[in-house]
Structure 1
Amino acid sequence: MDAHASVPGPPPFDWETTRFPPPRDRLIRLSHTPAQWDSSTHAFRPPLRDGTPAPGPPMSDFAARPARRPPRPPTARQLREIARRYVERYIPSVAQTEAVLWRKVRRATGLLRDGSEPAPVIDAILTDFCARKILDDDRLAHALVREYHRRGDPLPKMRGKLVRKRIPFDIIDQALRTLDEALKADGVDPRRQRALAYARRRRLGPWRRDPARRSARREK
């Protein structure tokens, strides 16, 4: 007697009681049905299961809400305080500080609180900060170039970082040239020193942490 003869087979397929998933176009149409804004509860109402919008006020109620009031225009004293805090928190260039001050002004009405033009006030703040060496693009460029050189960044990457800091191009070129001349005067190859610093920082070559793994890769 066959051992598998007593094993019952699968039940017959019933087309009447089996539930199939909805078609793909139905799923897409349901997923793209927008929700409705309920102004009484200040929340969105999801659509019904059949895809029809939920009963209630239309979406135009959400668009009819009052717009947010713009911020108050700053005063000259507030602009100076904004510049001071920005310089203390970051290490910006003159152009970056100027952009921050103009952004604060244009976010409101484009004028100061007394209705005067902000350009003379911003220029006076930047001139004062530059005269007191609070902002100094030349010193900033030389300091950043030395820092990037210690990290092992190549010249194109160093130049790109300084450009993103909005430092003038002539100051960038002068800082890079000064660094290379100082290193060559000491008998050091700048490119080789940057390459070694990069390899040391990324744990490449002889600076790998696992000597056994390094020897295994060398054999390959």
Structure 2
Amino acid sequence: MKQRIIIFTLIVLTGMTIAVVMNMQHYSDEPDSPVNRSQNNRLKVINPSDVNPKLVDPEIQDVTKDHTISDFSFQNQLGDTITKADVVGKIFVTDFFFTTCAGICPKMTTQLKRVQAEFKNDPNFLILSHTVNPSIDTVETMRAYAERFDADPEKWWFLTGSKHDLYIMARKSYLVVPDEADPDFDHGGESDFLHTENFALIDPDGRIRGMYDGTNPEEVDELIRDVYDLKKEYELD
């Protein structure tokens, strides 16, 4: 009798062990699962085909791999020219804003101030904020805006250039804004700007590794965690 109880107990324990292992395997196959993240700290590489088509230029909507940001040349709040060469090998967060925005932009910039504080001593991390209203957001205007949020000009660049070039970067590189011809835009009015709450996280190879609602503190918390994961992936101190 005692032997039967022992055998029965072993069978139950074996079944429970198999169930736990299978359950862990199921969740580890999902890219955003805690198990998968803790095992390899590797974030998904985001390509145009993974993103809402409204946010992506039609020419690249079917691209499924090897998407990286394109070359660019903009001026920052100090009047310095910033190009892709300045961000290669760095982890950075990017967004699109305008200085006269009284709605979501201050909320987004406040959240980015949190991100800056988290990585203030990290030489491998940057923030790039692009104006979507370059006719008003001059270098001097953006400098004043940057100072309002205590932005470190060595770590956080507020960028301006031609609206065409900014639009191309938003639609073809960072994949974060709706089409300019979207019916929700009031053409000719203040809302006729590239406007989005989205932050994009870019890795040292110029690939998109995360997208977040920049007005949502919880999603910005996730962004911060993901930056740490990228630092581990690239072995950046």
Please give the TM-score of this superposition, normalised by the length of structure 1: 0.21
Higher strand share: 2
Structure with the greater alpha carbon radius of gyration = 1
Higher relative contact order (CA 8 A, sep 6+): 2
Higher helix share: 1
